[in-house]
C-alpha cells in the first residue's frame, strides 16, 4: 500500500489528511522534508509503497474467503455502497468482489483508470457485470459456479418431497386456523379487561358472568367450526408416494446428477434429458438418457436443471405441457425463464400439472398479485437454492481463490470473459474464429437427442507450421459452439478446456500440413463428432462420425462439406438441410412452401452425387420456419429427411 501522510503546521491549528494508492511494481521508502518559511509552515511528506494489491469486497462474504484474501492482499470491506461511492473507490482497487446486488457497469471500469484487474462474482450468475466493458478494459471476470451444487440439489429434493406431501399447504392451514381462533376470541378478552380496569366487578358481575359464558361457548363453537372447515383436515392433504414413480431430470449437469442420485435413494425411477451428458456417466448412477419428448411424456415428476439460454427460454410452454401426463408435478430450482409462467398457470388450472414447486421466477421477486405464486397448488421459496451456511462459505472460498489466482497472473478456470488478444493476430484470425464457432454450433445440432457428445476431433489444414499458427483461440471457439447452445457458461480462451472436461467432452486436434504459400492462415477446418447418432443421416461420414467442414471465402465463413457431400453455402442466419432425390422442380416446390409461410430465403444450393440420384439441398433463411412449414416440406414425396439449424 502506498501512503502519503501530510502534516501542514501553521503557527496555530494543524490539518492532516491521507491519500492512498497502489503501485504493486514498486517498493520504495522515501522521506522528504521541505521547509517553507514564507508563510511560516513546514510540510512533512512520507511515502510507503506496499506491493500488496487491494481487494474491495462490496457485499458480505464468508469469513473463510476474507481470511484467504487477507493472506495476499489488503482487503477493504465496504458494504452497501451506492453507485457513485463504488465508482469513487474503484480507482484505488486491483480487484472487486460482489454478489448479485452490486451493478458493475461500464462506468465502474472506466472510472477504475485501468487499475481494476479482476472482478469476482460470489455466485454463478453474472448478469450484474458488464462483460463487454470488462473485456474491453482488460479486466478478468470470475465466478464461483461449483460451491453451491450440493445445496441446490438438496433444495430441489426438499421441494420435491414437500410438494408430494403438501407440507406447505398443511402447515399454512393449521397456522391460519389458530390465527382465526385468536382474532375471534380477542374482542371478548379485551372487553373483560375494560370491565376490570373500570373497577366495576361487583356492579357488572352479572354481565361478567354472561360474558365469560359467551367466551367459553365461542371458543368451543369456533373450534368446532375450524375443524369442520378443514383447519385440521387430514383428508384434504393426502399426498402421493415417490417410490416407483418416474422422475425426469431436465439438464444432467452437476446439480441435475446430484438430484438424480438422491432421487434414486428415494426409490424413484430416474430418466434424464441432456444433449451433452455422457451416457456412461448416466449409466453409472442408474439413469437412462432419453429425448426431450420422451422425458416429459413419461414422467410423473419433472425437475428442471437446465441453464437459461435463448434455446431454453420458455421451453416449458403450452405445447410441452400438452405432451405431459395428466397430473404431472414440476420442480424448478434452475432459472425462472425456462418456464412460461402464464402457460404453467393454465396447466395447473386444467389439472394437466397437478402441482409445482418453484424456487426461481422470471421476475424476482415476483409481483404480489402473481397468479402463479398465489395458486393453491404451488409451493414457493424465495430463491433459496444456494442458501446454506456451508454453501455460502464454499462460494466465498471459491471466489477468493479465483481472485487471488488472477492477481498472481494465473489462468482462472472459472473465468467468464476472454482476455484481450493482440490486434494483428485477432484481425487475421477473425473470420476463422467465426467459422470455428459456427462449425461447432452446427455439428452439435446434428446430434440426435440422448446420444451424449463425448469425443470431438478438430482438423486444421494449413500451409503454416505449428509454431506459426496458434489454434488455441480456434479450439476455444469450437468448444464455445459445441457447449453454449445448451449451457449458460461463457466459453473463452481461458475456460474452454476446463468447461469441456467438466462435461466429459474430449476434444483432440489434428493438423494437415499443405504445400503452398503460408499467407492464408488456414485452408479449411473440419469438426467430427464420434460415437453418436445423427438426426440427419447424410451428415454421417463413411467412417461413422458426424462431419462438417468449412472454409473462409472473402473473409466470410462457408460450409463446404456435410458428411461425404460437398456443398458451398454461406454460414449466415439459419439453415434448412434437406436430403432428397435429385429431380426437376424440387427447388421450386420447397421455395413455394417457404414463401407461403412468409419465410424469407437468402439462398438455395443443391449438392448431389450424380444426376437423378441422392442430393442435399441447403437453404438459408432469415426467420425460423414453423413446424407446420417443415412438415409440409418433409411431406414432399422426393424428400427423405429435413433438419433446421440455427447458426
Active site residues: 335, 364, 383
Of the candidates 57, 54, 53, which has an alpha carbon nearest to the alpha carbon of residue 121?
57
Query: How many whole angstroms separate alpha carbon 396 and alpha carbon 412?
Result: 16
Of the candidates 503, 508, 531, which has an alpha carbon nearest to the alpha carbon of residue 274?
503
Query: How many whole angstroms separate alpha carbon 424 and alpha carbon 435?
Result: 18
Query: How many whole angstroms separate alpha carbon 433 and alpha carbon 456?
Result: 18
The runs of H, that is alpha helices, within 229-351 are 254-265, 279-284, 292-298, 318-322, 341-350
Query: How many whole angstroms separate alpha carbon 269 and alpha carbon 253?
Result: 18
Whether 442 and 647 have beta carbons less than 8 Å apart is answered as yes
The answer for residues whose C-beta is within 8 angstroms of residue 354's C-beta and 6 or more apart is: 327, 328, 329, 348, 377
- The number of beta carbons lying within 10 Å of the beta carbon of residue 56 is 22
Whether 264 and 270 have beta carbons less than 8 Å apart is answered as yes
User: Which is it for strands 601-608 and 614-621: parallel, antiparallel or unpaired?
Assistant: antiparallel
User: Does the N-terminal peptide bond of residue 217 adopt cis geometry, omega within 30 degrees of 0?
Assistant: no
Residue 580 β-bridge partners: 615, 639
Query: How many whole angstroms separate alpha carbon 416 and alpha carbon 492?
Result: 7
Looking at the chain, how many residues does it have?
647
Helix (H, G, I), strand (E, B) or coil at 356: strand
Whether 57 and 76 have beta carbons less than 8 Å apart is answered as yes
**Residue burial 457-491, b: 16+ Cβ < 10 Å; e: rest:** bbbbbbbbeeeebebebbbbbbbbbbbbbbbbbbb
Whether 118 and 406 have beta carbons less than 8 Å apart is answered as yes
Residue 358 parent element (H or E): strand 353-358
The runs of H, that is alpha helices, within 198-267 are 205-228, 254-265
User: Which is it for strands 524-530 and 353-358: parallel, antiparallel or unpaired?
Assistant: unpaired
Query: How many whole angstroms separate alpha carbon 629 and alpha carbon 574?
Result: 15
Helix (H, G, I), strand (E, B) or coil at 9: strand
**Residue burial 187-205, b: 16+ Cβ < 10 Å; e: rest:** ebeeeeeebeeeeeeeeee
The answer for residues whose C-beta is within 8 angstroms of residue 260's C-beta and 6 or more apart is: 247, 249, 252, 270, 272, 285, 287
Amino acid at each position: 500500500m502506498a501512503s502519503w501522510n501530510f502534516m501542514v503546521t501553521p503557527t496555530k491549528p494543524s490539518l492532516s489528511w491521507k491519500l492512498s494508492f497502489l503501485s504493486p511494481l514498486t517498493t520504495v521508502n522515501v522521506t522528504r522534508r521541505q521547509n517553507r518559511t514564507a508563510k511560516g509552515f513546514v510540510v512533512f511528506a512520507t511515502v510507503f509503497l506496499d506491493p500488496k494489491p487491494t481487494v474491495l469486497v462490496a457485499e458480505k462474504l464468508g469469513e473463510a474467503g476474507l481470511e484467504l484474501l487477507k493472506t495476499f492482499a489488503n482487503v477493504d470491506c465496504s458494504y452497501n455502497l451506492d453507485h457513485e461511492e463504488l465508482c469513487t473507490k474503484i480507482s484505488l482497487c486491483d480487484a472487486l468482489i460482489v454478489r448479485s446486488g452490486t451493478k458493475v457497469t461500464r462506468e465502474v471500469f472506466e472510472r477504475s483508470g485501468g487499475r481494476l484487474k479482476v472482478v469476482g462474482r460470489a455466485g454463478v450468475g453474472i448478469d450484474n457485470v458488464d462483460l463487454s466493458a470488462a473485456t474491453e478494459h482488460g479486466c478478468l471476470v470470475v465466478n464461483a459456479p461449483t460451491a453451491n451444487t450440493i445445496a441446490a440439489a438438496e433444495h430441489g429434493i426438499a421441494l420435491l418431497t414437500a410438494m408430494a406431501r403438501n407440507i406447505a399447504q398443511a402447515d399454512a392451514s393449521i397456522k391460519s386456523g389458530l390465527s382465526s381462533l385468536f382474532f375471534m376470541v380477542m374482542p371478548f378478552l379485551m372487553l373483560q379487561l375494560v370491565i376490570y380496569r373500570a373497577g366495576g366487578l361487583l356492579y357488572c358481575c352479572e354481565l361478567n358472568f354472561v360474558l365469560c359464558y359467551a367466551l367459553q361457548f365461542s371458543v368451543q363453537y369456533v373450534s368446532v367450526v375450524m375443524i369442520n372447515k378443514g383447519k385440521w383436515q387430514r383428508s384434504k392433504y393426502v399426498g402421493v408416494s415417490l417410490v416407483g414413480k418416474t422422475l425426469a431430470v431436465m439438464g444432467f449437469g452437476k446439480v441435475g446428477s446430484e438430484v438424480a442420485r438422491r432421487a434414486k435413494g428415494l426409490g424413484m425411477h430416474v430418466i434424464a434429458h441432456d444433449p451433452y451428458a455422457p451416457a456412461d456417466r448416466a449409466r453409472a448412477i442408474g439413469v437412462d438418457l432419453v429425448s426431450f419428448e420422451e422425458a416429459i411424456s413419461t414422467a410423473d415428476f419433472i425437475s428442471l436443471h437446465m441453464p437459461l439460454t435463448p434455446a431454453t427460454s420458455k421451453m416449458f410452454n403450452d405445447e410441452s405441457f400438452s405432451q405431459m401426463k395428466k397430473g404431472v408435478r414440476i420442480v424448478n430450482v434452475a432459472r425462472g425463464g425456462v418456464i412460461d409462467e402464464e402457460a404453467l398457470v393454465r396447466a395447473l388450472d386444467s389439472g394437466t400439472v397437478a402441482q409445482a414447486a418453484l424456487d426461481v421466477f422470471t421476475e424476482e421477486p415476483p409481483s404480489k398479485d402473481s397468479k402463479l405464486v398465489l395458486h393453491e397448488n404451488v409451493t414457493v421459496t424465495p430463491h433459496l437454492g444456494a442458501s446454506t451456511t456451508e454453501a455460502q462459505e464454499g462460494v466465498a472460498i471459491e471466489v477468493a481463490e479465483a481472485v487471488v489466482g488472477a492477481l498472481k497472473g494465473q489462468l482462472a478456470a472459472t473465468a467468464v470473459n476472454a482476455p484481450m488478444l493482440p490486434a494483428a493476430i485477432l484481425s487475421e484470425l477473425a473470420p476463422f474464429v467465426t467459422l470455428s464457432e459456427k462449425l461447432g454450433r452446427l455439428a452439435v445440432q446434428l446430434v440426435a437427442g440422448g446420444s451424449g457428445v463425448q469425443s470431438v476431433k478438430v482438423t486444421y489444414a494449413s500451409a503454416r507450421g505449428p509454431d506459426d499458427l496458434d489454434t488455441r483461440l480456434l479450439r476455444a471457439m469450437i468448444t464455445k459452439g459445441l457447449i453454449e447452445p445448451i449451457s449458460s457458461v461463457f466459453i473463452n480462451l481461458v475456460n474452454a478446456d476446463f468447461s469441456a472436461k467438466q462435461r466429459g467432452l474430449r476434444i483432440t486436434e489434428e493438423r494437415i500440413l499443405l504445400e503452398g504459400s503460408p499467407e492464408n492462415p488456414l485452408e479449411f477446418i473440419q469438426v467430427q463428432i464420434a460415437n453418436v447418432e445423427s438426426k440427419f443421416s447424410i451428415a454421417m461420414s463413411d467412417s461413422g462420425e458426424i462431419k462438417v467442414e468449412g472454409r473462409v471465402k472473402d473473409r466470410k465463413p462457408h460450409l463446404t462439406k456435410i458428411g461425404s457431400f460437398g456443398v458451398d453455402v454461406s454460414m449466415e442466419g439459419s439453415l434448412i438441410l434437406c436430403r432428397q432425390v435429385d429431380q426437376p422442380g424440387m427447388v421450386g416446390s420447397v421455395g413455394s412452401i417457404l414463401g407461403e409461410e412468409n419465410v424469407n430465403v437468402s439462398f438455395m444450393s443443391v449438392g448431389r452425387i450424380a444426376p437423378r440420384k441422392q442430393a442435399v439441398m441447403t437453404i438459408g433463411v432469415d426467420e425460423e420456419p414453423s413446424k407446420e412449414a417443415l412438415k409440409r416440406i418433409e411431406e414432399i414425396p422426393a424428400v427423405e429427411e429435413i433438419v433446421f439449424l440455427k447458426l
